[in-house]
Amino acid sequence: MNAPVAPSDALSAWRTDGRGRIAALVLPWLLLFGIGAPLAWSELHSALEAPLTSDRDDTVAEAAGIIASTLDNLRRDAVFLADLTGRLGDEGIDAGTPAASLFLSFAGTAQTYDQVRWLGPSGREWLRVNARASGPELVPPQDLQDKAARPYFRDAAKLPAGSVYYSELDLNEEYGRVEEPHQPMLRVATPVAGRGGPLGVVVINYKAARLLDRLASLSARQGLEVYLANCAGYWLRGPRAADDWAWQLGRPGASLARSQPALWQAMQAADHGEVRGPLGDWAFRRLRPAGQKGAAGALDLYLVVHTAPQKLAWLGWRSKLVIGTVMAGALLLAGWHLRTLLRSMRAEHDRMRELQAAHHALLETTGNLRAVQADLTRSARLSSLGLMVAGVAHELNTPLGSATLALSAARNGLEVLAARLAAGLRRSDLDRFLADSDAALGLAEQAVRRSAGIVQRFKQVAVDRTTMERRRFLLDEAVLDGDPRLRRWDPADPIALRLDLAPGLEMDSYPGPLEQTVSNLVDNALAHAFGDPPAGRIAITARADGDDHVLLSVEDDGRGIPPQLRSQVFEPFYTTNRHRGGTGLGLHIVHQLVSEVLGGSIAVEGASPDGGTRFTLRLPRNAPQAVPYTPAT
């Protein structure tokens, strides 16, 4: 019998064998990866999933911000309109009254409002403006309806001034039936406080399709699915279009409780959270604006962001692939290779985290800046509307006062004539009456004509773009057509004219607005540049500026505009010649035409150190396509 081998000797022999050395090298790594690989896979999966989770949470926050911003804009619009309506009072609500004009102008400034209404204290509509393709339309009195039973009137009338009522977001119904095609609608109401007491409520019907489209755009941009549901568990914008608005379209069974029971159970238990299942990852947040300060109503929404299961599955395979690659590399390479690789991966991972944090900070800052910019733009638009209404009221005050005085004088003359008839009328009395009446009526006619001119010019400022003819034309011909006097200037006129128009500059643009611009600039120079008696020179120059643009300037050598006032000349109703009938709209109209229709820019500067003014227009020879506008009525 062979003698037994000692364990120490056997181990030494095994270690000296080549295969034993390989086993000694591999076994520790196998043990390490047998324990560490599952942990590494879990950590790597979490790390890979973190950006997706962060994107999902950012999408929820951004979508909630879109909804909050939309509701805030609606609240400010409604409160602003109610404040103006309360100041006007109930002195008149027929067509042509200040209240009707206010509602028409307000409806014309926003393309997302379907109706703007004023409901009296009894709940009956006093005013209603409907949005139409051709522009806002004032509904005749016989078509106005009684809305006393509607919650948005009944509940809004009880609110204090400055508070708003948000209705449920649903499909618009007409005469008890859902309107076709479907029109998602949100109604915002706020009470009107007059000087003598409550004057009913103002109601704005908001076309919520705009809000749903913004959520759809966010979904496409982020690569995630953004949905919206109501508090009853029905989709307003869901995974299947056939399930949207199911409770109104006769499909009460198409609810979250049946299609997504786990999600609906979680949504009922908390205001925000997430649910993961076979159909992917769902994150939700409840939005209840009606519960905030200064707001009430039935609006109660759930915002839902869905991550498709394919994305989550790819993360799992990606994690396994990375772990398998690392394990294979670790088994094939020496320890120092593995250590170097791990250090490199760790450094790269840290760098990616830093870049990701910087990227999210940049996105958040950009979003905040855009939100502030949108708020400032809307505030400026609403402020401009108030200033324009106040300016027109101020402008109309003087001529209407003159007309009132003249008509009062005519009435007094009639009373005097009647007294003279009773006492014995003389020929001189009749002649005096005729002369006084003719002067009074002439003054009244002049004042009324001036009022009509002010209203017409105001409509030109407030008008939307109308359909214009676009064609090819020569710049020099369009300039000369801008004012008939440019072709037949009187040589004896104390104001001389100099034309320096380069021939053959062909443009593909809108000659009408260009001619109106030239006419307004010439009229502005003649009205404001020169003293009394007027004397000086006006120069009009046109030349090419490269292959794609032209430069057009209108210059005078008059008294000029002080540098500190040049930034105000394009503002509406800014004028230094109000005592002579100036309205301050001419240069504002010029600025609108140049920037919004012709696609160019306009600048004002001093013509020389001694005085004068030069307006310089830089216009593209091929104008951008203009969006047709319809004048406000």
461 pLDDT tier (thresholds 50, 70, 90): very low
Please enumerate in sequence order all residues whose Cβ is within 8 A of that of 559, keeping only pairs 6 or more positions apart, or say none: 529, 530, 531, 611
**Range in 180-194, 289-303, 326-340 with the lowest mean pLDDT:** 326-340
Question: Quick one: pLDDT band at residue 176, thresholds 50, 70, 90?
Answer: confident
pLDDT at 242 over 50: yes
pLDDT band per the 50, 70, 90 thresholds, residue 80: very high
Distance between CA atoms of residues 144 and 200, nearest Å: 15
Burial of 4 (0-12, 13-18, 19+ CB in 10 A): exposed
pLDDT of residue 474: 95
Residue 93 has pLDDT above 90, yes or no: no
Q: Identify the pLDDT of residue 433.
A: 79
3-state helix, strand, coil in the chain (%, to 5): 55, 20, 25
Most confident of 341-345, 438-442, 598-602: 598-602
Mean pLDDT computed over 160-183: 89
Percent of the chain clearing pLDDT 70 (strictly above): 76
Region 339-361: mean pLDDT is 74
Whether the predicted pLDDT of 148 surpasses 50: yes
pLDDT digits (tens, 9 = 90+) for 560-610: 888 888 888 888 877 766 555 556 778 888 998 999 899 999 999 987 888
Q: Would you say 114 and 131 are in contact if contact means Cβ atoms under 8 Å apart?
A: yes
pLDDT at 380: 36
Lowest mean pLDDT among 141-145, 244-248, 435-439: 435-439
Q: How confident is the model at residue 379 (pLDDT cuts 50, 70, 90)?
A: very low
Q: Are 199 and 89 in contact (CB under 8 A)?
A: yes
- Pairing outcome for strands 549-556 and 601-608: unpaired
- Average pLDDT of the chain to the nearest whole number: 80
pLDDT, tens digit (0-9, with 9 covering 90-100), for 15-30: 555 455 556 666 666 6
177 pLDDT above the threshold of 50: yes
Range 453-466 average pLDDT:
49
User: What pLDDT is recorded for position 52?
Assistant: 79
Lowest mean pLDDT among 89-103, 133-147, 206-220, 261-275: 89-103
Q: How far apart are CA 206 and CA 185, in angstroms?
A: 6
Decide if 198 contacts 191 (C-beta within 8 A): yes
Segment 240-266 shows an average pLDDT of: 90
Pairing mode, strands 225-230 and 235-237? antiparallel
pLDDT recorded at residue 576: 67
> What pLDDT score does 19 carry?
58
3-state secondary structure of 39: helix
Q: Is 29 left (phi over 0), alpha (psi -120 to 50) or beta?
A: alpha
CA dihedral sign of residues 402, 403, 404, 407: positive
Q: Give the C-alpha separation, 409 to 412, whole Å.
A: 5
| Nearest in space to 61 (alpha carbons), one of 298, 256, 222 | 222
pLDDT band, very low/low/confident/very high, at 458 (cuts 50, 70, 90):
low
Strand (E) positions, 557-629? 601-608, 611-620
Query: In 3D, which of 61, 65, 75 has the Cα closest to residue 370?
Result: 65
What confidence score (pLDDT) does residue 11 get? 45
Q: Are 633 and 135 in contact (CB under 8 A)?
A: yes
Confidence of residue 289 (pLDDT cuts 50, 70, 90): confident
- Over residues 341-369, the mean pLDDT reads 75
Name the 3-class secondary structure at 2.
coil
Helix (H, G, I), strand (E, B) or coil at 196: coil
Give the Cα separation of 484 and 352 in Å (integer): 69
Measured between alpha carbons, how far is 420 from 430 in angstroms, rounded to an integer?
Answer: 9
**Out of 213-227, 270-284, 329-343, 499-513, least confident range:** 329-343
Distances (CA, A) of 182 to 112, 175, 179, 264: 15, 14, 6, 26
pLDDT above 60 for 464: no
Residue scoring higher pLDDT (136 or 625): 136
Q: What DSSP element (H or E) covers 510?
A: none
Q: Tell me the chain's radius of gyration from C-alpha atoms.
A: 38
First-to-final CA distance of the chain: 121
